[in-house]
A and B are shown apart, each in its own frame.
Chain A
Amino acid sequence: MFKKALVIFVLLLGLPSCIGIMVILSNGNFQGSDPEVWNQHATESYNQGNYAEAARFYNKRAFYFWENNKLDEAADSFISSVKANEKIGNQNAVMHIYNNLGQIYFDKGLYERSEDYFLQNLAISREQDRRHNIASGLINIANVRNELGDYDAAIDALQEAEAIAREVNDMTLLRNSYAMLAQAHERIGEDSKSKGYFDLYYALERKLQEEQMQRSQKEAKQRISHAETKAKRAETEKELTREELGESEKTLQITRQTLDEVEEVSRERQLQINLLNKEKQLQDEQLKRQQAVRNGLIIFGILLAIVAALILHNYLQKKKANRLLSKSNQEISEQNDEIAKKNKELQKTYFQIKKQNKNISASIAYAQRIQQAMLSNDQNLKKHLPESFIYYKPRDIVSGDFYWFSEVELTDLNSSKKTGKGLVIACVDCTGHGVPGAFMSMIGINLLENITSKGVETAGKILEELHTSIRKSLRQHKNDNRDGMELSVCVIREEQKVLEYAGAKSPLFYINNDGSHFIKGDPAPIGGIQPEPKREFTNHRINVISPTTFYLFTDGYADQFGGPNGYKFSTRKLRNLLMENSIDRLDQQKDVLDKNFISWKNKKHKQLDDVLVMGFTI
């Protein structure tokens, strides 16, 4: 535990210093390693007047490029650096940089520029009277001049260099001067001079090497003795350390003893603590048990209360429900009474209606008897026209369609003289069906009887009179009654072999040797409004040369919905049906009409209107 703390302490102490070092490092590196960033920094510094900083970074950049053999960039940076150094008058730096520039251009093979920089370097060296520099500069210049082939100039420089080297007693410089002098003289063909310089060079070189060797030996000896001293010192230190270690061990032992004691004490304490803890635990458990018992009691109490409340609630609820039940029971029984009462009423009404219906039916049935009595039956028609039929199929018990025929006196149109007997046949569709239709049919029959009893001029005239009579008897010019009828009237003038026909919205169809013929009749009905000043009906005269069968019908048959698609049967189909069966006897034709009507109507459709079709052959 103690050790750990110590380590952490050291770490804590050490950490800030580590951070400090890192800060310093990053400070030094803050421009990174990008030469362009250095350049930028240098330029900025230069612009801000911080020339020393500018020079430092130009140099840094120059050396970087020089090392990476990028000579142009290196030269540029050095030139920039020269400017910066000149600003602060650092001639010494300028001198060195000129030397560097000389070297760079030499390496690039631009010897003239190289010489130029070396000369500038020399000028500063001379200015500052740095003898060594002057000599080495001269050697550099000679070197360049050699490359330029300007050997005499090279020799001049070298001779001056030699003199200075001797003066400052720099053997290395002197040796280099000799070597180059030998080379230069050899180039210009002065072999003897060259040889002389070479000998000098050689002698000096040997001397230098010897000196070097001696120096090396001396250094080696020094190193050995130094190492020995070091070893001795180490030995002494080792002994000292050993003593220190002994002492430390002692201290450690003492500490350990103390620690043991402390541990003993703490162990006892721990035991005591444990004991106390156990006691406390015991107490806690006891307490918990007590609490549990108490809580149990409380919960039990609450539950008891809830149960009691529930029972009470239930009891109350039941009581309430009972009350409601008895109330609703009462209501139900009241309602039942009501329903029973209503039922009784309904039953009463039902019986009333039933009775009424029965009465009405009975009266309609009776009305039917009257209507039937008024309609002559087809047996009567057969007396006049043996080949004839009447297909009469009222929608309800009584009908709005009716047929009428009567033997009449015929009168001449112009002279009003009686011209003989004739037969009038009417096929009528009164407005309305059922009881109102039946009423109309009664009126119709009466009017037809009246009109024809005076004698008949033409079929058309019958219709015209019928129209005025209806309007008059129903007072249609005064009220909004629009009842009336649609009908076809035929007048058979047997002696003249002529059949007259007039139709109020009702046609005539006949079949003879020429085929079938259809006359639509006039568009105006009988009765109702009369827009025109006088209602006139067209009187058609048909000469009956060969046996001809005439058919009259109301719209009930043709308008019946049915068939496979629920369409109307249509007048066209009725005509076709009559045509198809025209060879048959008329009684048979009636049967066909009936069968066809029933099958067309089928069970899906109710009969829409009263149906009446009449046929007779003359």
Chain B
Amino acid sequence: MYMENFYVIESEDNPSIFCDAEKGLIEMEGRSLPENVDTFYNPVIEWVREYLKNPMPKTTVRFGFVYINSSSSKKILEILMLLKKLLPDNDLKIIWNYLPEDEDMYDEGMDFAKMTQLDFDFKITSE
């Protein structure tokens, strides 16, 4: 079954999003403070739901956030909880990129890891 890629170009208020079903890849990068989190994140959530119906054996999720406001944070948590359903039948790898010295983003990642009980691979983004 063919699934179209989903992508959003980065702006001042929203991150770039790139979802590739064939590669089992989901990437989000940048700032997240969209005016309306629902209109921004619901299509991603829809895509993930669709993907879960026919996922790749291995799925890689890479986050490279610089800023997440509290509403976005809730949507990301929801996406992560959806992706958690891939386990244990499929492989799920979550990479959390953060800028050097951005402890706040590291903490944010840690919070997600704790909340979801998923393994996060923390990696400093080299600029």
Contact = CB atoms under 8 A, between A and B. Distances in A.
Interface stretch (B3-11, B86-94, B107-115): B107-115
A71 to B, nearest CB: 100
Given A431-B71, A431-B74, A482-B74, A523 B104 contact: no
Interface in A496-511: 505
B114 A483 contact: no
B62 interface: no
A558 B103 CA distance: 11
Given A523-B115, A524-B115, A561-B67, A570 B77 contact: no
B69 interface: yes
A430 interface: yes
A486 interface: yes
Interface stretch (A27-35, A361-369, A526-534): A526-534
B107 A555 contact: no
Interface in B71-126: 71, 73-75, 77-78, 81, 84, 99, 101-104, 107, 110-112, 114-116
Contact of A523 (B78, B81, B110): B110
A318 to B, nearest CB: 54
B70 A568 contact: no
B56 interface: no
Nearest to B69: A609
Nearest to A532: B115
Contact of B33 (A429, A505, A525, A609): A609
A294 interface: no
A523 B114 contact: yes
A555 B101 contact: no
B17 interface: no
Is chain B's interface secondary structure helix, strand, loop, or mixed overall? helix
A485 interface: yes
A571 interface: yes
Interface residues of B, number: 28
Interface residues of A, number: 31
B61 interface: no
A529 B33 contact: no
A241 B99 CA distance: 132
Given A432-B71, A482-B75, A523-B115, A570 B101 contact: yes
B25 interface: no
Given A482-B78, A505-B111, A523-B111, A429 B104 contact: no
A570 B74 contact: no
A478 to B, nearest CB: 15
What are the 7 closest A-B residue pairs judged by CB atoms, nearest first? A523-B111, A431-B71, A528-B74, A482-B74, A523-B114, A431-B70, A571-B104
Interface of B: 33, 37-38, 42, 66-67, 69-71, 73-75, 77-78, 81, 84, 99, 101-104, 107, 110-112, 114-116
Given A524-B115, A608-B69, 13 more contacts: A482-B74, A482-B75, A482-B78, A523-B111, A528-B78, A529-B74, A529-B77, A529-B78, A529-B81, A531-B81, A555-B69, A571-B103, A608-B33
25 contacts: A429-B70, A431-B70, A431-B71, A432-B37, A433-B69, A482-B37, A520-B107, A523-B112, A523-B115, A524-B115, A525-B73, A527-B74, A528-B77, A528-B78, A555-B69, A555-B104, A558-B104, A561-B67, A567-B99, A568-B67, A571-B103, A571-B104, A571-B107, A572-B103, A608-B67
